[in-house]
Chains A and B, each alone.
Chain A
Amino acid sequence: QKLVSFPWFGMDIGGTLVKLVYFEPKDITAEEEQEEVENLKSIRRYLTSNTAYGKTGVRDVHLELRNLSICGRTGTLHFIRFPTAAMHRFIQMGRDKNFSSLHTMLCATGGGAYKFESDFRTMADLELLKLDELDCLIHGLLYVDSVGFNGHPECYYFENPSDTQHCVKRPCSLDNPFPMLLVNIGSGVSILAVYSKDNYKRVTGTSLGGGTFLGLCCLLTGCETFEEALEMASKGDSTNVDKLVRDIYGGDYQRFGLQGSAVASSFGHMMSKEKRDTISKEDLARATLVTITNNIGSIARMCAVNEKIERVVFVGNFLRINTVSTKLLAYAMDFWSKGQLRALFLEHEGYFGAVGAFMELLKSSEEP
């Protein structure tokens, strides 16, 4: 059995972010070390000794999967991300490090695998193995869940989601995951009904996703990054921006069983000039986050009902460091379905596509 030569990468080039997983073998023998070509060594050192790359690249150290045995090798899987806007710099780096001399296969998924294919070829003499992003997403997700998160479960949910005082994050297993509704929230949103590893369909999608949140936040508040936007949102109060049922009816709209605290019109208060003139950026950021999240929750819930699936798994980088949204989604699933639906989340939120691409790379070595 012939192993695929190192380095082992998997890449997911999305609309906003590039997600990269890199397997660092920890069982390199002295003999191997000697044979290892110089630029391969330098790539390994560059990636593993830093946690930030350039101005915008980040290694999510807290997510790394240690002591992973894959295809007879043991090592650590690293999780790296950088903005898609920096893609050309990344390709240049590949050229500068003479990546093409390593004769490795570069497995890539996401729309960028198509969009940048010719750039990889012409700029860095690299051929991409393009992979379908939904296949990769599902394969990666199932794999990471099966190996666990360094001895802990990958999956979690919120206990008492409808009770903000007693809502707690709880780990759980995804032992018997099918069927599940998989909601991938990246720049946009894709919703899949997954019946088995290879049997799934894309139910629908919405253009109101993470890109919309960040895009609107940038326009409304002048912020520049996702982190900044979330930071502001965490301090804001959306009820200064949104019109609630009680703002219109004075209380609950009992005839239709609507609570007074439910949002009747997102940004509805902003129809009034006085209110626009006095609103804070934090409140606007919070309202944007709540609007987008609730909308995704609402569409996901309708899909779950239409597809008759009770388990709704939310993934994607929109959920990164975003407990406001995860809790809101958990609440929305539970409350509006009267406890019928359960929202599940995964620790490696946005990286499953990249993991799936990485696994595709290893497939060739598994075959005789």
Chain B
Amino acid sequence: CAKRVGRASHSLDKSITLPPDEIFRNLENAKRFAIDIGGSLTKLAYYSTVQHKVAKVRSFDHTAKGDGEPLYEISVQEEITARLHFIKFENTYIETCLDFIKDHLVNTETKVIKATGGGAHKFKDLIEKKLKLKVDKEDEMTCLIKGCNFVLRNIPHEAFVYAKHADSEFRFQNTHPDIFPYLLVNIGSGVSIVKVESEDKYERIGGSSIGGGTFWGLGALLTKTKRFDELLQLASKGQHTNVDMLVKDIYGGAYGSLGLTGDLIASSFGKSATADKEFSKEDMAKSLLHMISNDIGQLACLYARLHNLTRVYFGGFFIRGHPVTMHTITYSINFFTKGEVQALFLRHEGYLGAIGAFLKGAEEDNPNQYSWGENYAGSSGLMSVSPDLNPMQRARSGTFDMLEMDRLERQLVNLPLLQDPSSYIPDTVDLTEDALAREYWLYCFEEALDGVVKRAVASQRDQPEAAERAEKFRQKYRHKLQTLRHQPFAYGSLTVRSLLDTREHCLNEFNFPDPYSKIKQRENDMALKYYQKVVKSLEELSWDQRQFALVRGLLAGNVFDWGAKACCIVMVVNVYHCFFIERPWLVDAYNQWIERLKGPPHKCALFFVDNSGMDIILGVFPFVRELLIRGTEVVLASNSGPALNDVTNSELQIVTERIAAMDPVIQAAVKEDRLTLVQSGSSSPCLDLSRLDKVLATVVRERSTDLVVIEGMGRAIHTNYYAMLSCESLKLAVIKNSWLAERLGGKIFSVVFKYEVPSKTQGQY
């Protein structure tokens, strides 16, 4: 049998050629292979190191600094990061793929390939012959669970609820800080029900022989239709009521005293036992689908109840992205639990086995001690496999689906000050649900693309091929935007944040690590020149005037985002005397804030900063300075990596040094550790408070932080506008987008100044 399959695939696989830059990337550095061969799809996993450019800043020795010299030096360096690659393709291409891998695999310290899945034994010889790697089989269920734990922990919006008739069919779930315990119902040919209690503790608590194989086998007998997908297609067109005996067929209506509605199925296929007629293929397939989905749902509920579990994930080839089966399973779970348990599905469900097998092989590298992030540039995203739902699907058949995950430098954790981590949603608007907003932002990002490309080229004038790379970036990002137009759910909930992050990932992909580096440098430099003047003019004000000037300074600095001319600087400098932002603001809690400042000082303030230049130097630092003078410790949190013109941690260090050299207040605070710089762990213009650097969380906890300041549109409007913290918080931004301003009931340059105090009773609950 294996031979036959081998030959059959041989004739097919010549028809495709693999695009070398797009799949099986970074094979030169690949190590630790794993493969999961299922009934029709193969999933390959490997680990590689990716060399990419990063922008570094380095401070000069300022003692001998002349006037015309820049503040710091920017250099582009190569950095090596770890990446996981997962590729999914049809089994027919396995030989081509193995050949391709063999040809491109340079470094082969690797001796073993971990394998799992039902087809692993069938292709064992082929793999060993082609790759000269020893096939090492791993238990299927163990791999599945390991993979499941990994994606639940590392991929935000991994799990979703499916609602066929809702505006958005996919409702993504927050990453719960504790993923255990859960129930995994794997619907392959049969059904396995596994209870997972911890990373290493899981148990198969039950199962059923009525599964995907029953649907397929019985369906093929009844309808003479061979393929699983075709059976699902038939089912989606059928009417089960022609075949099933419903409650109303027996009762004439509902069985009221038991609350059973007339449309409920009393007996699956009950009509085919008594009615003497022909039944259509579509109707029988639909009836079969209902019968099997309901049965699995019922068993899952019985096990969930027995073990007191509310999180139930469904996977296996029966589910794998099929809207039809996700719908029937969801319906069944809702029916049997009366809505108490929700059926959950996973975006990367098809990869679980491969991920798990890979992790088994990589145990010595301890991949679980790191945080990983989905690379939007290198991942295909969730694809609906229904051609009705997804016109792009047809073109995808025979292509390759990919998932890439980057190892993050730092381990990411929750901000300890979140009021309820499990219900925290960073994003203010879910664009998967809000079609109007989605239209607007997709359009907006497409319109802005030319500018981004120009800026990218401009940032690397010394490199002649930059234009070509920038063009590739444009194509890639435009393609992503098009994909998202059709499938807004491809990477989880679509948000302004995810659109921004995808753009950053794509820029990085084509080696534009920091297009704004020079602009940031110039603006920091310019703003520093005015620092002392600003501080002096502030000191001349009365306390009341000064507090107001400080807040307006923050807002003004935030208005002139980038590319600000000197005249703007002058305006900002003068803001302390006069400025156009008049109160009352769109959201105006200034009076409450001032009342609070008349009270005792905060113990420690955590400040998430935004832009380089005026914003940080002339807005944030004077404000921070005042807090320090009041006796409040300050922790400044800035991005770990570049995003737009946001100040990065390394830039902020230089800026702080320079300010300290001019300002004894800052100098003393730095020396005495009352002013601390930490990195956020993020490289995004937005802010996800559930994925922050572990060091930041530790510092926040140690210093008994009691005030959080979040500044700017990306961090305080697009994200965290509704975030509830367990301490006082200040969210402030100027809305520099008229569409968004209107949505919030204001107009362009409206000011949001949100000061929130958690209700006192909170602790008692």
Contact = CB atoms under 8 A, between A and B. Distances in A.
Question: Which of A110, A188, A265 has the most C-beta atoms of chain B within 10 angstroms of its own C-beta?
Answer: A265
Contact of A206 (B211, B253, B257, B298): B298
A299 B209 contact: no
A276 B218 CA distance: 10
Contacts of A153: none
Nearest to B303: A302
A276 B221 contact: yes
B118 A248 contact: yes
B250 A115 contact: yes
Given A15-B250, A16-B274, A218-B273, A255 B306 contact: no
Contacts of A267: 213-214, 216-218, 221
Interface stretch (A20-28, A57-65, A176-184, A290-298): A290-298
A188 B270 contact: yes
Contacts, number: 189
By DSSP majority rule, is chain B's interface helix, strand, loop, or mixed? helix
Interface stretch (A140-148, A207-215, A319-327): A207-215
A215 B222 contact: no
By DSSP majority rule, is chain A's interface helix, strand, loop, or mixed? helix
B299 A209 contact: no
A218 B214 CA distance: 17
Interface in B188-207: 188-190, 192, 204, 206
A305 B295 CA distance: 18
Q: How many residues of A sit at the interface, in one of the four size bands?
A: 35 or more
A174 B255 CA distance: 30
B273 A16 contact: yes
Contact of B299 (A84, A85, A202, A298): A298
B543 interface: no
B113 to A, nearest CB: 21
Nearest to A186: B267
A216 interface: yes
B291 A266 contact: no
Given A187-B250, A291-B209, A269 B279 contact: no
Interface string B156-192: 0000000000000000000000000000000011101
Interface in B275-294: 279, 284, 291, 294
Contacts of A187: 245, 250, 266-267, 270, 273
Contact of B267 (A15, A270, A276, A291): A15
A295 B210 contact: yes
A272 to B, nearest CB: 8
Interface residues of B, number: 57
B295 A255 contact: no
Contacts of B546: none
Interface in A305-324: 305-306
A129 interface: no
A305 B306 contact: yes
A348 interface: no
Contacts of A256: 141, 192, 204
A271 B141 CA distance: 22
Interface string A1-30: 000000000000011100000000000000
Given A204-B336, A265-B190, A271-B216, A212 B268 contact: yes
A96 to B, nearest CB: 24
Contact of A299 (B141, B221, B270, B298): B298
Given A248-B118, A295-B208, A84 B255 contact: no
B190 A15 contact: no
B411 interface: no
A268 B267 contact: no
Contacts of B258: 134, 202
Nearest to B252: A115
Contacts of B295: 206, 208, 295
Contacts of B46: none
Interface in B243-259: 243-245, 247, 249-253, 255, 257-258
Contact of A208 (B188, B257, B272, B291): B291
B252 A302 contact: no
Contact of A302 (B190, B222, B266, B299): B299
B247 A111 contact: yes
Interface string B214-251: 10111011100010000000000000000111010111
Contacts of A291: 209-210, 214
A186 B273 CA distance: 13
A298 B208 contact: yes
B245 A268 contact: no
B265 A207 contact: yes
Contacts of B298: 204, 206, 299
A211 B245 contact: yes
B742 interface: no
A306 B305 contact: yes
Contacts of B252: 111, 114-117
B272 A268 contact: no
Question: Which of A110, A204, A270 has the most C-beta atoms of chain B within 10 angstroms of its own C-beta?
Answer: A270
A268 B208 CA distance: 12
Interface in A262-295: 262-271, 273, 276, 284, 291, 294-295
B472 interface: no
Question: Which of B188, B214, B302 has the most C-beta atoms of chain A within 10 angstroms of its own C-beta?
Answer: B214
Contacts of B284: 219
A212 B141 contact: no
B271 interface: yes
A84 B251 CA distance: 12
Contacts of A241: 217
Contacts of A114: 251-253
Interface string A97-123: 000000000000011101111000000
B268 A263 contact: no
A187 B295 CA distance: 16
B299 to A, nearest CB: 7
B268 A302 contact: no
Contacts of A303: 302
B139 interface: yes
A132 interface: yes
Question: Which of B217, B222, B272, B284 has the most C-beta atoms of chain A within 10 angstroms of its own C-beta?
Answer: B217
Contacts of B188: 265
A171 interface: no
Given A220-B222, A265-B214, A212 B299 contact: no
A349 interface: no
A189 B266 CA distance: 8
Interface string A70-86: 00000000000001110
Interface in B301-328: 302-303, 305-306
A112 B753 CA distance: 68
A229 to B, nearest CB: 9
A154 B177 CA distance: 57
A216 B217 CA distance: 13
Nearest to A248: B118
Given A207-B294, A264-B190, A302-B299, A270 B208 contact: no
A270 B273 contact: no
Nearest to A288: B218
B269 interface: yes
A270 B226 contact: no
A242 interface: yes
Contacts of A139: none
A215 B272 contact: yes
B204 A207 contact: no
17 contacts: A15-B245, A84-B274, A115-B250, A115-B251, A187-B273, A211-B245, A215-B267, A215-B268, A241-B217, A264-B213, A266-B217, A266-B218, A276-B217, A276-B220, A302-B299, A302-B302, A303-B302
**Across chains A and B, which 4 residue pairs bring their CB atoms closest together, nearest first?**
A270-B217, A215-B269, A211-B267, A111-B250
Given A215-B268, A243-B213, A268-B209, 11 more contacts: A14-B250, A110-B250, A186-B267, A206-B294, A206-B295, A211-B267, A216-B272, A263-B190, A265-B209, A266-B209, A294-B209
